[in-house]
Structure 1
């Protein structure tokens, strides 16, 4: 056997033992996509984090280890369904993703805002002010912007659909190009479906 095969076998055994002993708190994997390589991390409750290349995957994993649990392991199987769903979404085959989420990285109003993002329909946008209204706090526009900027599961809870009051796209955790690409994908998919 070669070194790579031995290493893969050892890693698979480690994952199996960690799962069997209930020692794996956070599983992660990467996903090559049209937006670059995405990092997906999940607890047994659901997807905890989706991170873009620009965020630095090692830094994201270190943050998860510090904030949630140091028991983090590359164990892609836990995230296979989420990875398939994201691939289908990014390739325009599906319009919604139904995967379990773990929003423990958020609390208070930020959690309320991020959870409300699922109300913005595919191919539609809402202003920060509109999202503030949806949460019952019409004056909390800045807080909505902050919550969107800290959304730990972009794509799964679509903060890319939140735009400025003047209609400009505004900022995005994955960068302006990623936000534009996502909005364009949804607009093209809707247009293609209607014609």
Structure 2
């Protein structure tokens, strides 16, 4: 699996006693939704959360990562999808899930089941949801691009309104996608190519009304003789 996040991760080092490392720091910086609290190790960003509870931020960091935080009085760069992260405190499964999520193109969405297939655990949809609900670095690893199976946006740790705002800022046509969800459409086929895509795939966006074939399931698309898009990989 090819993913852009992997090049920004430090090598897995789960066996190392992380408590022996230099104490991590935290500061306020900006992200796509405004100000956030950011914790950093010497290798990259380790944790991102809203700015409303600094004491709770430090306590939760200590609980989850097992080490303290100290304030950083230096200027911290704004965060975005290109920011280097340090996910060594995550399990291998958690890193796989976050890597797959980071490969979703901006302005597009993928269901939880897609992420589960990408990491080779197609039955682990609920476990994938748990990992993303606890994503240590939202706004960097874009868990806002992961949706329910029917295409509806679903929950987001920073709020459903924030999820919609992020996707809209990336160019997603939320009204169009909501229309497909309401109609029960989970795949869009092209009768000129015989290829079926997830509705948010950039190839699906180019299918004109006259050649668009809606499907309510991958099985229905297969039975109609369609094959899955190699870009969005809808699991057919």
Alignment-derived partner of residue 42 in structure 1: 40
Q: Residues 36, 43 of structure 1: CA spacing in aligned structure 2 closer, same or farther, 3 A cutoff?
A: same
Q: 1:187 to 1:130 in 2, by over 3 A?
A: same
Alpha-carbon offset, residue 34 of structure 1: 6.2
- Is 1:148 the counterpart of 2:132? The answer is yes
Q: Secondary structure at the match of 2:170?
A: helix
**Quick one: distance in 1 between partners of 2:35 and 2:54?**
9
**1:36, 1:53 within 8 Å by CA — same for their partners in 2?**
no
Equivalenced residues, count: 153
SS at 1:73 equivalent: strand
Preserved contact between residue 29 and residue 37 of structure 2 (Cα < 8 Å): yes
CA RMSD of superposed structures (Å): 2.5
Aligned to 2:150: 166
Provide structure 2 residue ranges, at least 5 long, that are not aligned to the other structure. Answer: 1-20, 174-236
Q: Distance in 1 between matches of 2:73 and 2:147?
A: 33
Which has the higher relative contact order, 1 or 2, with Cα contacts under 8 A spaced 6 or more apart?
1
Q: Residues 119-138 of structure 1 correspond to what in structure 2 (within 5 A)?
A: 119-138=103-122
TM-score by length of 1: 0.69
Q: From 53, 60, 78, give the equivalent of 2:57.
A: 60
CA shift at 1:26, angstroms?
A: 1.1
Helix, strand or coil: the match of 1:41?
Answer: strand
Q: CA deviation at 1:33?
A: 5.5
State the Cα deviation string for residues 59-108 of structure 1 (Å, max 9, x = none).
121122343322x222153x623x2xx3xx5xxxxxx41x3211134214
Distance in 1, Cα, partners of 2:145 & 2:92:
22
Residues 133, 27 of structure 1: alpha-carbon distance in 2 compared, 3 angstrom cutoff: same
Shift of 1:115: 2.1
Q: Which residue of 1 aligns with 2:71?
A: 74
Report the Cα distance in structure 2 between the residues aligned to 1:80 and 1:29, rounded to whole angstroms: 7
- Say which SS state the counterpart of residue 144 (structure 2) adopts: helix
Name the one with the larger helix percent: 1
Cα 1:36/1:58, change in 2 over 3 Å: farther
1:113 corresponds to which of 97, 100, 105: 97
Please give the alpha-carbon distance, in whole angstroms, between the structure 2 residues aligned to 1:120 and 1:61: 30
